[in-house]
Structure 1
Amino acid sequence: MPVTAMLRGKMSKSTKIKITELNRHLTCFLCAGYFIDATTIIECLHSFCRTCIVPFLQKTNQCPMCDVQVHKTRPLLNIRADKTLQSLVYKLVPGLLKNEMCRRREYFSLNPDARRSLPPNAREERGELGLESLFIYTDDEDISLSMEYRLPRVAPPHPPPPLNEKPEDDEEKPEDESERKRRHSNTNGIGEGELVDLRYLRCAAAVTIKHLKKFVRSKFGLDSSYQIDVFYKNSEEEVLFEDYSLMDIAYIFSWRRTGPLALVYRIYEPNRKRRKLAKGKSSVNIKKTLSKESSNVFEKTAVDDKKKDTNNSNGGTSMTPSIGNTGVAVST
């Protein structure tokens, strides 16, 4: 069993953590603000804002948090830009990147000489880096996604027929534009018409998987007895939790806006109820009745075969008859 399936059985929903509980991992010890241009000391792996740690190490060669010696003479040689940590801070703190880029553009507009001293490819330093470049998403932006139907791996008793299934004796005919539009615009129920295999939607990044399941139920007229599972297209072993938002999925699966966010959904029919037993008869009574009837048939067959054997013995012939279809042989 995959690990994701085991976790799904143990967890009804994902655990949410407040940003305030992570502040001590995202803030600078020197300025108490969120990391900007996060820089890490390679000796002790403590991180600070670059504009905070550089002036500090120009006065001393020890880490401000643990007092470890960074370097004997040139401590600035033992610090490195931490792009991964900075990316996490921008993703976890809403609006931080946008506000920082605006602040830098305002500064360089007031100080054109400082802007000219930067290299041409220093877009981030000049404040010209957008959210799209770092693949950072916000709750209020729109995300394009596609939802494709896939047959369950364990097929239900009467699954919806796939669109690409054709009779073997039918010749393949090219699908014209009107037929393609009609097929993709069909919104009837599963049992009433053709199932739409692919849909394109544009939703806010805050839309959750629960909202998408409601959309599928309303389009196909499904009640709550039908089970709907939603997957990311390239990871169909992991069922997405209902409280996952589109922004969460984009981060988890590293969606890069190169195309629609591809999702796959499956519909499982409800299990049919077992037929109830006849009124006044329990399962034990039925078993006893069947056993008694089988015993009577066996005894009747044995008596008939014994009579035949007696008649044959009078004629000087010996036989080994088989009793009915039970496969039991009786020798006389």
Structure 2
Amino acid sequence: MAGGTRASDKNAQLVHLNELNPFLTCGICKGYLIDATTITECLHSFCKSCIVRHGQFYLNCPTCNLQIHPTLPLLHCKLDSQKQDIVFKLLPNIYKNEQKRRKLFWKEYQNKTGEKPVQVPMLGKSPRKKKKVLIQPDPLASVVLEYVGASEGLENYDFEPVVKNYIRVEAKATIENLQNFIHKTMNLDKTFEVNIFCDASIVDKSSTLQYIREQFYDGEDCIMLLQYGVIDPRDYSDDSDVEDQWENEEDMVYTPSGLRYHDEAMEEFSSDITEEMNSIQEMNDLSLTGVV
């Protein structure tokens, strides 16, 4: 209708820029994002130059202190072009000023060194490709997550397992990625941790799903079963040897009644076998005497 107001305009809501600032600013320099880079583990964003300098000395996120990567934090930092586009559309002057600053920097660099600088794409532009490159997608892994319970001392907590327990992710994803996913999905307190098992053995958090597929499934592209449990590491803070959070993870086995220590499970199994053998012997003795 000419001269009328569209329905989308009626439902539009004005938002002050200062309400969006926490999502558009860098957590390190506190300025608006330039070359926005997001940590894939916690989704906090920073300027690329800021997080690169931070990653040279620290392994944790500057905002939430979550470990980005055990050794190479920049592996889990990805350029976030969508968020950067939002910043430039809301603040066009930021884009213009950054363009001028970069051009001035390279001009001064060339005058000072006499060398022709390496051509670096400006903001909003990508280097021109000479030929098309076919990028093969990363292999995927299918996983079913099974909740096996919580460690001793957490019986009073009503933990809700992951409802959608079938996932399909990149095979290069690590066990630590799954631990973070389970932790957030179950909405666990920060004091609790998640341990993941495969074939009744604790899996190291740095192991990838591809490694598990090769070690436990002969490299076959099948649905892998991973079991997980919740622990409170504070219960083991006084132990001298706490490399494994279940006190002795290698001694833990999964039984139909839940997680049990290996010695305890074997003792119970041996006792059941002994009773069964005694019962059979009694039946044989009775049959020999003609009672049965």
User: Normalising by structure 2, what TM-score?
Assistant: 0.37
Q: Larger Cα Rg: Structure 1 or Structure 2?
A: 1
User: Normalising by structure 1, what TM-score?
Assistant: 0.33
Greater RCO (Cα-Cα under 8 Å, separation 6 or more): 1
